[in-house]
Amino acid sequence: MTYILKPQLHHPKLATNNLGFTRRDYEGSVSTLCAGCGHDSISSAIIQAVFELELPPHRIAKLSGIGCSSKTPDYFLGASHGFNTVHGRMPSVLTGANLANKDLIYLGVSGDGDSASIGLGQFAHAVRRGVNMLYIVENNGVYGLTKGQFSATSDKGSKSKKGVVNHDAGIDLVGMALQLGATYVGRSFSGDKDQLVPLIKAGLAHKGAAFIDVISPCVQFNNHVGSTKSFDYVREHNEAVNRLDMIPARSPIHVDYAPGETVTVTQHDGSVLSLHKLAELYDPSDRAQALGFLQSRQARGEIVTGLLYVDPEAGDLHDALDTVATPLNELGQADLVPGSAALARINAELR
């Protein structure tokens, strides 16, 4: 049995949010991943983000595919419904779930094996349809559960633990998401919670297809010299373009940075993104510039992180389909079944 329940006892002085939930209320069962795994840091960042956003846990649906990363939804948000689907197919299942009930918040968790190989097509199509979701790829550049094969995001020239050199070009999911029309795109590092938590918060508040690529080193199989996804490599080559503060819709807006260095973006739900610029001239509202910037930095071996693109006015798939305000799964018989009178008319037309 790899399923271990956490004790439900809380420290009596544990801080609560305005909903009365402690951080523990957003946790799940005990992680079965390796000690030091970057994925556990991401789970922890998700817990913190949802706690700080004061979201009722049951209003979130968490979906994943197959792999180490896809196991993690069991380890956070235990009071949320979760769905560990099939390999590479989480995007379609999430799309269907979202069509059924537009009122829940959809969190898709996947890995580089799940999303960049078998699931590359589904990733692309869910993004281009503008499904309202936050899609997180926990990207370690390696197949952990099957012990160390290269994944499709491994950089060309990167070395495996056994010393094999990867000769295939790496797939950059951030570049793809931008090209496919994602309306919120970020990249972060599992080791940088200060950067990651606000990115997750803003992504959850975003309406439309939000995507965050989180470089998450695999301590067992991809943390050695020669890997471009090791803790050391990512720390050394991380180039953050901005620092994000995310202010939820109902909070008073307070920005720390001096004017001139900071851009504020108000999202659809009223949440305010305060972006402290780190790279001169980087404009996260310019999709084409973002793509160019990323590619030029990537050529130099740098890993660009931060909020890379956001369209605060984006719509979603339900807007495109012009569906009713009521979630489809709540429509009753009278809304759904036209009844015998309509059949009489149809029958007459078929004679």
Partner 1 sequence: MPISVKTGSTSSGAVTINDFVVKFANVNGSGSASANGMFAKSILRCGVPVAARNIFPSNIQGLPTWFEVRVTEAGHLGRRGGVDLMVAMNPQTWDRDVAEIEAGGFLFYDSTKPLPPSKFRDDVTVIGVPLTAMCNERYQLPRERQLFKNVVYLGALAALLGVEPAVVETILAEQFAGRQKLIDANIEALHMGVGYVHEHLAPIRLQVRKADKVGDRIYVEGNSAAALGAVYGGATVCAWYPITPSTSLAEAFTGYCEDLRTDPDGKARYAIVQAEDEIASIGIVVGAGWNGARAFTCTSGPGVSLMTEFIGLSYFAEIPAVIFDVQRGGPSTGMPTRTQQADLLGAAYASHGDTKHPLLLPADPGECFEMGALAFDLSDRLQTTVFVMLDLDIGMNEWLTKPFAWDDSHNLDRGKVMTAEMLEAGADFGRYKDVDSDGIPFRTYPGVHPSKGAYFTRGTSRNPYARYSEEGAVYVDNMQRLLRKFESAKALMPKPVRQDAKRKTTDGVLYFGSTTPSMLEALEMLEGHGRHLDAMRLRGFPFSDEVYDFVAAHERVFVVEQNRDGQLRTLLMNEGEIDPAKLVPVLHYDGTPITARFIAGEIGQLLALGQIEAAE
Give residues in contact with partner 1 (CB under 8 A): 1-3, 56-59, 61, 63, 73-74, 78-86, 89, 91-101, 103-104, 121-122, 124-125, 129, 317-318, 321-325, 328-329, 331, 333, 335-340, 342-343, 346-347, 350-351
- Least CB distance from residue 273 to partner 1, whole Å? 26
Q: What is the 3-state secondary structure (H, E, C) of 96-162?
A: HHHHHCCCCEEEEEEEHHHHHHHCHHHHHHHHHCCCCEEEEEEECCEECCCCCEECCCCCCCCECCC
The residue with tokens 């922890």 is: 44
Nearer to partner 1, 129 or 159 (CB): 129
Residue 267, both tokens: 């999202």
Smallest CA-to-CA distance from 72 within 105, 36, 46, 106 is with: 46
Contact (Cβ atoms closer than 8 angstroms) between residue 35 and residue 84: no
- Least CB distance from residue 198 to partner 1, whole Å? 25
Smallest CA-to-CA distance from 179 within 314, 35, 292 is with: 292
Nearer to partner 1, 14 or 169 (CB): 14
Nearer to partner 1, 181 or 226 (CB): 181
- Least CB distance from residue 62 to partner 1, whole Å? 9
Nearer to partner 1, 95 or 188 (CB): 95
Nearer to partner 1, 182 or 308 (CB): 182
Smallest CA-to-CA distance from 235 within 277, 189, 197, 193 is with: 189
- Least CB distance from residue 20 to partner 1, whole Å? 10
- Least CB distance from residue 351 to partner 1, whole Å? 6
Nearer to partner 1, 80 or 195 (CB): 80
- Least CB distance from residue 70 to partner 1, whole Å? 10
| CA distances, 250 to each of 41, 194, 253, 312 (Å) | 28, 22, 9, 17
Nearer to partner 1, 56 or 301 (CB): 56
- Least CB distance from residue 251 to partner 1, whole Å? 22
Smallest CA-to-CA distance from 59 within 80, 83, 90, 82 is with: 80
